[in-house]
Structures are given as C-alpha cells and as structure tokens.
Amino acid sequence: MDHKYNLSWNSIARPTIRKVCIAAFLLTTTTLSWASENMPTASPESVGMSSERLGRIDEYFQRFIDNDQVVGAVSLVARHGKVVHHSAVGLKYREENIPMTTDTIFALASMTKPIVSTALMMLFEEGRFRLDDPISDWIPEYADHQVLVSDGARQRRVSESSGVTIRQVLTHTSGLTLSPANRGMTEEELRWVTNDGEQFSTLGERVARAALIPAAFHPGEHWQYGASTDYVAVLVEKISGQSIDQFLGERIFEPLGMHDTFYNVPRNKVDRVAARYTPDEDMKAELQREPAYAEPTTYFPGVSGLNSTSSDYIRFAQMISNGGELNGVRLLGRMTVDLMISNHTDDKSVYIRGPGYGFGLGFGVLLDPTQSLDTLSPGSYGWGGAFGTLYYADPVEDLIGLMFIQLRGHGPLNIRQRFTNVVSQSVIDTVANREPKVQAY
C-alpha cells in the first residue's frame, strides 16, 4: 500500500463518522456564500429546485460512508449560474479523524483533461492552427508515424493512412499511446521509449520518444480513450512557448480566480488535501495514499495531475456553461464553446458510463438518454476522474453537478452514475428550455 504507516485495515480504529458528518453539514450550510468564492448563491426554490430533495445528496453519500465504502465526499450543484448546494460529509483523512470540508483539495485525475483541452482551444481562437492540421507540424517526430496491424496471428507495422490531426487528439480518435506494452517493439526500442526505466523530466520528452510506439489503429478509425490529452498538453507548450503548468496558471486559473488549482500542491496547503483510498476485496475503503508534501515536479501530464477544490472547479465549469465567460472574464468565444461540447465522433462506438454517448473536444457528450439511462438532457457534457471525481453540465436545464471523492476502483459502486440522477430529481420547475442542444461536426 502507498502510505508510510504500515497499518492493515483491521488494525485501524474506525471513527464514528456520522457525528463528524453532521458537524460538517452544519458548518457548510452556514457558509455556502463564502464556500464558492465570488460565485453567486441562491435558495434552491428561487431557481426551480427543491431544498428538501437536494438534501438527498448528503443522504446518498452517507449510505456509502456508513457501509465503509467511501470515507468522505464533497458535492456542489449550481443552476442558472447560482450555487444552491455545497456540502461536505464524512472524513478527508479517516486515519487521523479529520473531517471533510468544502475547501478540501482533491486529485482530479482525468478531470484535468477538459481544462487542458480548453487551453488548446484558446490558442485555436488566436488563429495558431486549424483543427485538422497534423500534430507533426508541432511535434515533428510524428511526421512518419506507424500503426500496428494484424494479419491473422502476425503483426506488422505500416505507415498511417494519414497524419494524426489536432482534432483527433482532442477527441481520442488518434490511436496514439504512450504505453509500449504489446506493441511488437524490440528491446532497444523499449529502452528508448521508456527512458531505460528512469523518470522523464518533461512530458514533451516522453511524447517525442513515444513516436517509436506504433499506433493502435489508423487515425480517425476508432474512438479509444487514453493518452491523447498528453499530446494536447504538449501542443499547448509547443504553440505557446510556455509549460502547460505556466499556461494554465496564467491564462485560466488566475483569470478565473482558481487559487487552489495546481499540479504541485504548495506545502502550506497540504493539510487540506484528501487522503486517497482503494476498495479491498469486500469493497471497503482501504488507505492507499495519505496526504503528504511532494517535491515539485517539472513533468506535467495532460491526462491527469491537477489538484483542485469544488469551489475552484465550479468556476471553470460555469465559465464553459456561460459560453466562455465568468464574471466579466472571457476565456473563449461562445461559438468555440459550442464546437467543443458538440459530438465529433460520428457513429464510432463511444462507451462512457454506458452507451448513448459521443465525444467532443475534451468533453464526453450525451446523445441519447434512453440508451445511457441517465436523467440528463441530450447535449449534456462533462468528464470524471479515476479517483471518483465528476463534473457534468446539462445545458437544457442550465444545471451543473460536481462530486468529489478519493476512491480509486470505485467503478463497481456506480456512485457517479447514480449521483447525476440524485441531482436531477431535485429539479421541480417546468420552465426549462426543452430544445435538445446536441450538435454534430
């Protein structure tokens, strides 16, 4: 296990979580106005939602906590640009009996991807590239990239049918991978692409070496979720001349007031970081990684790596929902945002939370709720992270939901899938614009 105390699950005294949850709930309900810095708040009823039904969100997470499946959770709901629910239940570090709070810092994992994709689209708006330009214009190692194809039991490398484009890395249709496993590579090639087992100093170095790894399929042939957003991050660096860390800080986080979002958690904020857990064989949460200061790194992934709070992430989410603007600060034009949250994967098989989804430029897009069985409108979009974070927006209902837990291996619980339905049932008005928002490109 990835923590310094050699403690088994049975040797850890479990605290009385419900008392802590009640205290945390009382704290957050009295501090809603400051919990989402500079974000307007409203009573649920004033925006067509039910206070009583929103209370089911805490009850929902409490059931997982009572079953020892989840240690703590933070949830946030906003409608019509106003926060109507922001609450914390449980603990952020069970082994030290530290309560979860609404300002807890979480590892976002893949919820990093929409932010990094937004960074590249900001450069798109500056006329730096077209979406169907090849990535080799900026990462020349991919000018003659190969793909691994199978002829029965035999595998061979052939040239790609066309160069991977910027749109294809944004939509996960590139076929690119940073993993050399089962790619038919020689020992010498493996040593090169893995840096002989040593840590790469930058993502750009790793991506350049990974050009030796043949793609899984020809560009645009399939949808395959994976490493494509690492290439998006490198493109941001190559085009802007800044590290992705610097670009995000200066162009997105600072303008939006996201002061608790970063790759490297500052030493003075480590006490706000949630511990990470993983299920044991009985799906009980077991400590995987305790909060601890890590020396700053220069390796900034595009696929993951950011840390943030619910109060910060709602600012990014609301900016996208507003068509690229928040509190007078505009990062993107409305038409660009419309392009990003539209489906770009045609009829390719895209399995996100289940069937019924497509993929945009950095966001999953709901196409058919009758397939996904989610109580969301067509055109809803968002993304989640491996540790149990989730962000989604329903543009028809003008509704945003965020949930944050830290449980790697949460899949069998279906905790994120059910969360969206618990939020949706709290909408009680009948005035929403019911026109579907789905667009396809």
Residue 233, burial from CB neighbour count under 10 angstroms (0-12, 13-18, 19+): buried
Domain membership flag for residue 235: yes
* Domain co-membership, 414 together with 275: yes
| Mean pLDDT value of segment 186-194 | 88
* Domain co-membership, 275 together with 365: yes
CA dihedral 79, 392, 318, 26 (to 10 degrees): 60
Dihedral over Cα of 68, 308, 179, 441: its sign: positive
* Rounded distance between C-alpha atoms, residue 359 and residue 440, angstroms: 10
φ/ψ of residue 136, rounded to 5: -65, -15
| 342, 353 contact by CB (below 8 A) | no
pLDDT for 155 equals 82
Domain membership flag for residue 368: yes
* Rounded distance between C-alpha atoms, residue 135 and residue 142, angstroms: 7
Helix (H, G, I), strand (E, B) or coil at 232: helix
Domain membership flag for residue 438: no
* Domain co-membership, 173 together with 283: no
Q: Is the pTM of this model over 0.95?
A: no
Helix (H, G, I), strand (E, B) or coil at 24: helix
Rounded to 10 deg, the angle between the 310-321 and 113-125 helix axes is 40
* Rounded distance between C-alpha atoms, residue 319 and residue 391, angstroms: 13
State pLDDT tens for residues 254-277: 999 999 999 999 999 999 999 999
* Domain co-membership, 219 together with 165: yes
State pLDDT tens for residues 29-87: 434 433 345 799 999 999 999 999 999 999 999 999 999 999 999 999 999 999 999 99
Domain range holding 407? 9-104+264-299+309-424
Rounded to 10 deg, the angle between the 51-66 and 17-29 helix axes is 150
Domain membership flag for residue 257: no
* Domain co-membership, 270 together with 206: no
Residue 347 burial (CB count, 10 A): 7
pLDDT for 431 equals 64
pLDDT for 438 equals 61
Structurally, the chain folds into a number of domains equal to: 2
Domain membership flag for residue 120: no
| Mean pLDDT value of segment 174-199 | 86
* Domain co-membership, 165 together with 88: no
Does the pLDDT at position 90 exceed 80? yes
State pLDDT tens for residues 104-133: 999 999 999 999 999 999 999 999 999 999
| 115, 314 contact by CB (below 8 A) | no
* Domain co-membership, 136 together with 232: yes
Domain membership flag for residue 373: yes
| 118, 233 contact by CB (below 8 A) | no
Distance of CA 22 to the CA centre of its chain: 29
Nearest CA to 306 out of 210, 404, 166, 419 is that of: 404
* Domain co-membership, 88 together with 215: no
Domain membership flag for residue 313: yes
Domain membership flag for residue 119: no
